[in-house]
Chains A and B, each alone.
Chain A
Amino acid sequence: MEKTVNNKAWFLVLPVLVIVAFSAVIPLMTVVNYAFNDTFGNNQFFWAGFEWFEDTVTSSRMHDALGRQILFSGIILAIEVPLGIFIALNMPKKGFWASFCLVLMALPLLIPFNVVGTIWQIFGRVDIGLLGRTLASLGIDYNYTNDWLDAWITIVVMDVWHWTSLVALLAYAGLQSIPQAYYQAAKIDQASRWAIFRYIELPKMQGVLLIAVLLRFMDSFMIYTEPFVLTGGGPGNSTTFLSIDLVKMAVGQFDLGPAAAFSLMYFLVILLVSWVFYTVMTNMDRENMQ
Chain B
Amino acid sequence: MKRYSSALVMAAYLIFLLVPIYWLLNMSLKTNAEITSTFSLWPQNFTLRNYEVILTDPSWYMGYVNSIIYVVLNTVISITVALPAAYAFSRYSFMGDKHLFFWLLTNRMAPPAVFALPFFQLYSSVGLFDTHIAVALAHCLFNVPLAVWILEGFMRGVPKEIDETAYIDGYSFPRFFIRIFMPLIASGIGVAAFFCFMFSWVELLLSRTLTAVDAKPIAAIMTRTVSASGMDWGVLAAAGVLTILPGALVIWFVRNYIAKGFALGRV
List residues of A whose CB falls within 8 A of some B CB. 1-10, 12-13, 15-17, 19-20, 22-24, 26-28, 30-31, 86-87, 90-92, 99, 101-115, 118-120, 122-123, 127-130, 133, 161, 165-166, 169-170, 172-174, 176-177, 207-208, 211, 215, 218, 221-222, 224-225, 229, 242-243, 246-247, 250-251, 256, 259, 263-264, 266-267, 270-271, 274-275, 278
| Complex Cα gap A128–B36 (Å) | 6
CA–CA, A198 to B241, complex, Å? Answer: 41
Assess the A172–B262 pair: CB atoms within 8 A.
yes
Q: Contact at A129–B23, with CB atoms within 8 Å? A: yes
B127 at the interface (CB under 8 A from A): no
Known: A118-B236, A222-B112, A270-B110. A9 touches B10 (CB 8 A): no
Contact of B106 among A13, A109, A242, A274 (CB under 8 A): A274
Find out whether the CB atom of A113 lies under 8 angstroms from the CB atom of B204: yes
Residue among A112, A173, A274 making CB contact with B262, cutoff 8 Å: A173
Instruction: Tell which of A20, A30, A133, A274 has the most Cβ of chain B within 10 Å.
Output: A20
Contacts of B118 in A (CB 8 A): 26-28, 30-31
The interface residues of chain A lying within 8 Å CB-to-CB of B141 are 20, 23-24
How many B residues touch A, CB cutoff 8 Å? 99
Chain A residues with CB under 8 A of B112: 222, 224, 243
Q: Which of B43-51, B53-61, B178-186, B246-254 contacts A (4 or more CB under 8 A)?
A: B246-254
B240 at interface, CB cutoff 8 A: yes
Bound form: Cα–Cα A28–B266 in Å: 26
| Chain B residues, Cβ within 8 Å of A102 | 255, 258-259
User: What is the 8 Å Cβ interface bit string for chain B, positions 127-155, against chain A (1 contact, 0 not)?
Assistant: 00000000001101100110010000000
Tell me the nearest residue of chain B to A23, going by C-beta: B141
Chain B hits for A170, CB < 8 A: 262, 265, 267
Docked pose: A105 CA to B203 CA in angstroms: 19
Nearest Cβ on chain B to A101's Cβ, whole angstroms: 6
Give Cα distance in the complex from A115 to B21, angstroms.
10
Minimum distance in angstroms from A56 CB to a CB of chain B? 13
Given known pairs A5-B92, A105-B14, A106-B251, the reply for A113 and B202 (CB within 8 Å) is: yes
A45 to chain B, nearest CB (A): 14
A16 to chain B, nearest CB (A): 4
Please name all residues of chain B whose beta carbon is closer than 8 Å to the beta carbon of A207 when the two chains form the complex: 265
Complex alpha-carbon distance, A274 and B149, angstroms: 15
Tell me the bound Cα distance from A264 to B137 in angstroms.
Answer: 22
Given A13-B100, A19-B137, A247-B113, answer yes or no on A112-B243 (Cβ-Cβ < 8 Å). yes
Chain A residues with CB under 8 Å of B237's CB are 118, 122
